[in-house]
A and B are shown apart, each in its own frame.
Chain A
Amino acid sequence: MSTQAESLLHVAVGNANHICWRCNAGCNVPFFCPHCHAVQPLFGDPFICLGFPYRLNVDASLLSARFHVLSRKFHPDFYQRNTPEEQAISLVNAARVNVAYRTLKDPQKRIECLIHLVEGDSTIPTEAPADLFEAIFEMEEALDAIRTTGTEAMAHPYREALRKAQEKFAARLQGVHNTLSALSTVWDGMLDESTGVGGTIWTEQQRGVVMQMKQALSHLAYLERILKNVAVALEPAVSR
């Protein structure tokens, strides 16, 4: 099945088959009532909104093209002379499309969105990777020492230690990114094997992959935070 066809199927599943808010007619097509032509509220998660399957590898140019197509359908610019109800729907629809685009455009936000859909909870804890405990301990010591040491000369060895830690953490961060992209490919593979477009009932295997992604994201959040702290601690040395 081509990506294009899948997407259309997906949008139809999410946004067709509802009752028109204005004329109460049954609608079997998405976005506009076939009877009274009124714009219809857009439903669904970011994937459904933009007509994408629950895949984590997204074709960027298709995403951008779809975003433009939907923006042309819903942007408030084109509803200036419609009824207040239609203006309100177009505004909320356009906001939905924009939020969906912002989510799917960013690989990390895409994964967070999927975790939310599968797990029903989007809070990602910030967790240190267990294999880094020793290095983190050393880094904290160095950070403390730099804070309390008066002279630049005395702080110097700690700075060196910090720089080493920085390299280590940056490498580990790259590792987490690699893990996430590998897991994404695994996820997409499982999707193709089962329903093709994905559904709301997930297999144990799929949940397992999502749990792994969640853990990787928690490591990512931790590593990004400490790298920022380390960068701040090292910064004054440059400007002095």
Chain B
Amino acid sequence: MVVGIDLGTTNSLIAYMAEGMPRVIPDAKGQGMVPSLVAFLDGVVLVGEAAAQGLIAHPDRTLYAVKRLMGKGVKEVEEDRPFLPFRLSGDTVIRIEVDGQSYTPPEISAIILKTLKTQAEAFLHQPITQAVITVPAYFNDSQRQATKDAGRIAGLEVLRIVNEPTAASLAYGLQKKAEGIIAVYDFGGGTFDISILKIRNGVFEVLSTHGDTHLGGDDVDRSLTVQVLSEIRQRFGADLSSDHVALQRIRLAAEVAKRQLSTQESTQLCLDFPDSKIEYRRSLTRGEFESLIQPLLDRTLACCRHAVDDAHLSSDQIDEVVLVGGSTRMPIVQRSVGAFFSKTPHTELNPDEVVALGAAIQADILGGNITDLLLLDVTPLSLGIETLGGVVSRLIPRNATIPTNAKERFTTSVDGQKSVSIHVVQGERERVADCRSLAKFHLADIDPMPAGIPQIEVTFLIDANGLLNVTAQELRSGKMQSVRVKPTYGLSDAEVESMIAASIEHAHADKTHRTLIEAKNQANAIVQQAQKGLTQGEMLLTQIEKEAIEQCLDGLKTAMRGDDAVAIQEAISQVEQATKPLAEQLMNQTLQARFRNKKVEDL
């Protein structure tokens, strides 16, 4: 069974296919939506509704909207920082600091995914190991990769990363048997996407997509929060903007007011801060609220304009408009979108569930149960490489149907040059500095030749997940060239692997436990390495040396069976000490062998 997961900024859902129809899987209490909250309280990790208690009581240990941090560097979230009550550190990968521990956003997302996984396993009475996870269509490569990493850390094989609006279109199309051109306007908790699709004979072809990965209900709440903060400053002369508890309370009150104004014409904001002797009261009409958030609405409509233009259509050529995401419950959204497309948008689907339902359908397609539906999605951003003078040479345009590829030839500029470095960026601007750096790819081990002679053909392939893969081939020899990837933002494969190991014990969130797991992993690696060394270097060792190493190894193996991280660490360093001379000898041997090979070649 492959499940579909909507990993949202504010809420997450898991769904599956039951007799040809997608269904959301509820938790034990019958709830389908899991708030995307993780709280570290009293040595326990709380997830979802249970974590909500921590929002005000322990804002620094209750993590929300972590999706906004996925695949980003610390500098990129500068404007969010004043509003996030938890501590961030790190550089190209954000680390969230809680109680002296640091967690990357994929690790936090993995905790939410694991909760959903457990929920599904309990409901379906079977182990769940494979999933389709949705992301905003406008997510770049690093954000997609971070989501995939989160799945892996949670013990899920992520069969596909699907774009949220496209997933929604699948659910909509299946239910309504729709044909023609549809626009999916997806205004969620943290992100906005617009996708234009053509549906014909079960093929869902995305014509264009546009969006803003930093525009959602969170920003609506923030607009109101900022307004309240400034009114408190005016009325009471108090600045609450650096008081995290106060800030969190205002944010939550703003969210409640927003929800109420979707069904009623006015609401009351009542916030008391006894410590600062502040009793803030205010009535808020829907009109006032709407003019406050109008700039956000305008931004979504500007994206719609881009998407329609990129699809080479005019807005009246759109047959149907579908609203997705909780933020589309606001009447102003329905009005504005209706006016933009001159059409009453569809609101009959549950905007909270439709993405998860679509993910379940895509999961069933991948599971081989549905063969008549096919989603043809696009890459949201152009892909290019850096050329002389910091100018981008575009290889794959935005809105290209994926999978897609582009080939480019590279050569060397210096005699005997052994490696070539390629800087890949995503974005629409002409200068590298204005685009987003994706990764540096190093073509290594090029056979030494005069400058300009090697002909290395590099293939840039964007797969069906929207993720970039790079391969290289030397054309004269036909030899595949190794490509070393250094992602600009994001985790290396090794880091993800160690997180997978570490996450097994994450449920305890207990530092000693985690250190122990890390020590055991390290010990495992050392044992394997030492044993390999013993076989390879048997000829180089005296009986005494050999026995000494074996004795240390036995000591380590014994320590590994126990639960004392310090003892394991000590045993590790003993093995390292004992094997050091052997390692050096082995190294020399390898070097000599290489030297000999060289000579043979030269002759």
Which A residues lie at the B interface, using CB under 8 A? 64, 68, 71-72, 75-78, 80-81, 91-92, 94-96, 98-99, 101-102
From A75, A80, A91, A94, B368 is in contact (CB under 8 Å) with A80
From B366, B374, B400, B405, A92 is in contact (CB under 8 Å) with B405
From A77, A78, A81, A101, B401 is in contact (CB under 8 Å) with A101
Contacts of B401 in A (CB 8 A): 98, 101-102
Cα A92 to Cα B405 in complex, Å, equals: 8
Contact A75 B404 (CB under 8 A): no
> Knowing A81-B368, A99-B404 touch, does A68 contact B205 (C-beta < 8 A)?
yes
Contact B400 A94 (CB under 8 A): no
Contact A98 B464 (CB under 8 A): no
Contact A102 B400 (CB under 8 A): yes
Contact B403 A68 (CB under 8 A): no
The answer, yes or no, to whether B420 is at the interface (CB within 8 Å) is: no
Contact B366 A94 (CB under 8 A): no
Cα A94 to Cα B375 in complex, Å, equals: 13
Contacts of B403 in A (CB 8 A): 76, 91, 94-95, 98
Contact A98 B200 (CB under 8 A): no
Contacts of A77 in B (CB 8 A): 160, 365-366, 374-375, 464
Question: Which chain A residue lies CB-closest to B365?
Answer: A77
Given contacts A80-B367, A95-B461, A99-B406, 11 further A-B contacts (CB under 8 A): A64-B200, A68-B200, A68-B203, A68-B374, A75-B464, A76-B403, A80-B368, A91-B464, A98-B400, A98-B403, A102-B404
From B203, B367, B461, A72 is in contact (CB under 8 Å) with B203
CB distance from B372 to the nearest CB of A (A): 9
The answer, yes or no, to whether B201 is at the interface (CB within 8 Å) is: yes
Contacts of B402 in A (CB 8 A): 98
**Interface of chain A: mostly helix, strand, loop or mixed:** helix
Q: Which of B366-411 contact A (CB under 8 A)?
A: 366-368, 371, 374-376, 397, 400-406
The answer, yes or no, to whether B96 is at the interface (CB within 8 Å) is: no
Contacts of A68 in B (CB 8 A): 200-201, 203, 205, 374
Q: Which of B485-506 contact A (CB under 8 A)?
A: none
The answer, yes or no, to whether B463 is at the interface (CB within 8 Å) is: yes
Q: Per-position contact with A for B177-208: 1 when CB-CB < 8 Å, else 0?
A: 00000000000000000000000110101000
Cα A71 to Cα B375 in complex, Å, equals: 10
Contact B404 A76 (CB under 8 A): no
The answer, yes or no, to whether B13 is at the interface (CB within 8 Å) is: no
Contacts of A64 in B (CB 8 A): 200
Contacts of B203 in A (CB 8 A): 68, 71-72
Contact B159 A71 (CB under 8 A): no
Contact B376 A75 (CB under 8 A): yes
Question: Which chain B residue lies CB-closest to A77?
Answer: B365
Contact A78 B371 (CB under 8 A): yes
Contact B368 A76 (CB under 8 A): no
Question: Which chain A residue lies CB-closest to B378?
Answer: A98
Question: Which chain A residue lies CB-closest to B376?
Answer: A71
Contact B400 A75 (CB under 8 A): no
Query: Which of B159, B401, B461 counts the most A-chain CB atoms under 10 A from its CB?
Result: B401
Contacts of A96 in B (CB 8 A): 405
Contact A76 B464 (CB under 8 A): yes
Contact A91 B200 (CB under 8 A): no
CB distance from A50 to the nearest CB of B (A): 13
CB distance from B147 to the nearest CB of A (A): 18
Contacts of A95 in B (CB 8 A): 403-405, 461
CB distance from B470 to the nearest CB of A (A): 13
Cα A8 to Cα B368 in complex, Å, equals: 29
Contact B159 A80 (CB under 8 A): yes
Contacts of A71 in B (CB 8 A): 203, 374, 376
Question: Which chain B residue lies CB-closest to A75?
Answer: B374
CB distance from A68 to the nearest CB of B (A): 5
Question: Which chain A residue lies CB-closest to B375?
Answer: A77
CB distance from A109 to the nearest CB of B (A): 10
CB distance from B374 to the nearest CB of A (A): 6
Contact B463 A76 (CB under 8 A): yes
Contacts of B366 in A (CB 8 A): 77, 80
Question: Which chain A residue lies CB-closest to B362?
Answer: A77
Closest 7 CB pairs of A and B: A98-B401, A95-B405, A95-B403, A68-B203, A80-B366, A98-B404, A76-B464
Contacts of B371 in A (CB 8 A): 78
Cα A64 to Cα B374 in complex, Å, equals: 14
Question: Which chain B residue lies CB-closest to A68?
Answer: B203
CB distance from B311 to the nearest CB of A (A): 12
Cα A80 to Cα B401 in complex, Å, equals: 19
Contacts of A92 in B (CB 8 A): 405, 461
From A72, A99, A101, A102, B374 is in contact (CB under 8 Å) with A72
Question: Which chain A residue lies CB-closest to B403?
Answer: A95
Q: Which of B329-386 contact A (CB under 8 A)?
A: 365-368, 371, 374-376
CB distance from B375 to the nearest CB of A (A): 7
Cα A200 to Cα B107 in complex, Å, equals: 56
26 A-B pairs (CB sep. < 8 Å): A64-B200, A68-B200, A68-B203, A68-B205, A68-B374, A71-B203, A71-B374, A75-B376, A76-B403, A77-B160, A77-B366, A77-B374, A77-B375, A80-B368, A91-B463, A91-B464, A95-B404, A95-B461, A98-B402, A98-B404, A99-B400, A99-B405, A99-B406, A101-B401, A102-B397, A102-B404
